[in-house]
Amino acid sequence: MDELKERILRDGQVLEGNILKVDAFLNHQVDSGLMKRVGEEFARRFARLKPDKILTAEISGIAPALQTGVALDVPVVFARKMRPITMPKDAFERHVPSRTKGGETLLLVSPEYLHPKERVVIIDDFLATGQTLNALANIVVEARAQVLAFGVVVEKTFEHGREALEDWNVPLESLVVIERMSSKKIVFR
C-alpha cells in the first residue's frame, strides 16, 4: 500500500532496537481513514477464505482488525493483556515477550468468543519475530478452531518472523514490507 509507505516515511520514527514508532497513525493516535483502507485491503485479500472471525491482540492490532471485520462483516475478538474480573477462569492464555513494553505480555481470550470449528484470520499491526502471531495461532488451535491466514500491516523481514510462521502453512499477507531500516533510512521491498 503506497499510502501506508508514505505515512511511515513521513510520520514514522526508527528507535533504538529496531523499533518503528508509528504512534501518529496506528499505535497511539489512529488515522481512521487510513485504517478503513487497511481493513478494506485485508478484506480484499481474505474474502475468498470466508472467515468466521478475526483475532488480534490488544491494543495496536484492534484498529486494523476491526476495520477488516467491518469490511468482511464478521466479529472481531481481541486477546486481552490483563484479566478482567468478567473473564472466565478457563480462558485461553499465552505469554509472549514484549519488546516495546519490556518483559512478557499475557494474551487472554475467553472461550465464550472463540469456538470449535470457527475459521479465523489473525490480524496484527507488526510482524517482527512472529511470537505474538504464533501465540494467537496456538490459542486458535487450543479452541479447536482453524487458522486460515495471517495479516500484518507492517512486516520487518530482517527479524525473520515470516520464517517463524512457516509451519502454519497458511497465507501471510503484509501490506508493507520493510527490508531494512536505520534512523536515516527505511527500505521497503
Number of structural domains (the chain) is: 1
Task: Report the chain's terminal Cα–Cα distance, integer Å.
Answer: 11
CATH (domain of 129):
3.40.50.2020
Average pLDDT of the chain is 95
Residue 28 pLDDT exceeds 80: yes
- Name the band, by pLDDT with cuts 50, 70 and 90, for residue 101: low
**How far is it, in rounded angstroms, from Cα 27 to Cα 163?**
25
Residue 99 pLDDT exceeds 90: no
Check residue 32 and give its pLDDT: 97
Domain that holds residue 18: 2-188
- Name the band, by pLDDT with cuts 50, 70 and 90, for residue 98: confident
Check residue 29 and give its pLDDT: 94
Instruction: Measure the CA angle with vertex 103, ends 61 and 66; round to 5°.
Output: 5
**How far is it, in rounded angstroms, from Cα 150 to Cα 129?**
14
